Amino acid sequence: MPELSEQKFVSIAVVIPCFRVREQILDVLSSIRKEITNIYVIDDACPENSGQYVEKNCSDSRVTVVQHESNQGVGGATITGYQLALKNGASIIVKMDGDGQMDASSIPGLIEPLLSGEADYSKGNRFSRFEDLRGMPVLRLLGNSFLSFISKFSSGYWNVLDPTNGFTAIHANVVSALPIGKLSKRFFFESDMLFQLNLIRAVVVDVPMRSRYLGESSNLRIRKVGLEFLIKHMRNAVKRIICSYFLHNVNIASTQLLFGLPMLVGGASFGLWKWTEAFEKAEVASSGTVMLAALPIIIGIQLLIAFMAYDIQSVPKQPIHLTQLTNDSIKEM
């Protein structure tokens, strides 16, 4: 546990982006326990007017409705909620969806790593226990498994799964340290958040929770965003590696990557050139030619494996926030 400079009474805010959730939103709000200080409902230009519906039918004094004039996406709505929560002095900000898929009774477990000073950001993980996967549609399971794999490489958090899980909690100090304006405002928001958190070396932990599907349809379509997500993950992976291993720091892994990648590409290119040349001439390549191609490939692969091992071991482990949050009522939730 890091050395804590002060203790602060905890104020928990919940941010709920709303888009096509009119039928579920009131049940979601009623399930949020009284220990939560503020609830921000962000109507992201919902065609069902979810925000107005909440204002007319919800009497909870903790609820504040914010109306977006144009749709900004789940990320844009969450950012609006983050900014409002920070302005009103929140210590921890929980983000959950308004479609009923996220059980509000899981909030105490979600915020516990932040209360104890063990993490800066926590997120739900529906893949930690086999029994928690019951009820998850097969397509969502396969899509999330694929996204989890590429997200590990792009974000640098090799210890987390389920990157698109939007049930999250973040320390207010960490939100202030993030470049909020650079975060993706659409469905890539949660994955982009992990990338940005790694750049500031924030500690991220998974909190096991059960998948909860009540027959509602998701606004996220894996088949439509799959290619977009892949491109953005690859872009973030390149940015992270450049920042982490060449701009912010230079270490043995930087050397491994700097030599390993050119050797692998160079050896493979040389081997392909010589193989094509020998095939056209109907000749057998000499052993020397084979070694000139194979040796750089072998060494390059070994160096890249060593780089990957170093990267996996470099997951942030020391929380960056320095404020311990204490509130007996929250701990007893």
CA 224 to chain centroid? 19
pLDDT, tens only, 54-100: 999 999 999 999 999 999 999 999 999 999 999 999 999 999 999 98
Going by C-beta distance under 8 Å and a sequence separation of 6 or more, which residues neighbour residue 5? 322, 323
Quick check: 133 pLDDT over 70? no
Q: What pTM does this model have?
A: 0.86
Q: Which pLDDT score is estimated for 221?
A: 56
pLDDT, tens only, 169-193: 999 999 999 999 899 999 899 999 9
Quick check: 3 pLDDT over 80? no
Q: Give the residue ranges of DSSP H helices in the chain.
A: 22-30, 50-57, 73-87, 107-115, 138-155, 172-177, 189-199, 222-242, 252-281, 287-313, 328-331
CA gap 330, 12 in Å, rounded: 9
3-state DSSP percent of the chain in helix, strand and coil, to 5 = 50, 15, 35
- Name the CATH topology of 6-245+317-331: Spore Coat Polysaccharide Biosynthesis Protein SpsA; Chain A (3.90.550)
Identify the DSSP state of 215: S
Quick check: 39 pLDDT over 80? yes
Strand partners, 42: 17, 66
Q: Name the pLDDT band for 1 (thresholds 50, 70, 90).
A: very low
Q: Are strands 92-95 and 168-171 parallel, antiparallel or unpaired?
A: antiparallel
Least confidently predicted of 108-117, 131-140, 203-212, 297-306: 131-140
Averaged over 120-125, what is the pLDDT?
Answer: 95
pLDDT, tens only, 230-289: 899 999 999 999 999 999 999 999 999 999 999 999 999 999 999 898 888 888 878 888
CA gap 197, 203 in Å, rounded: 8
Quick check: 218 pLDDT over 60? no
Least confidently predicted of 3-7, 63-67, 298-302: 3-7
Structure tokens at 201: 């070396």
Q: What is the mean pLDDT of the chain?
A: 87
Q: Map out the domains of the chain as residue ranges.
A: 6-245+317-331, 250-313
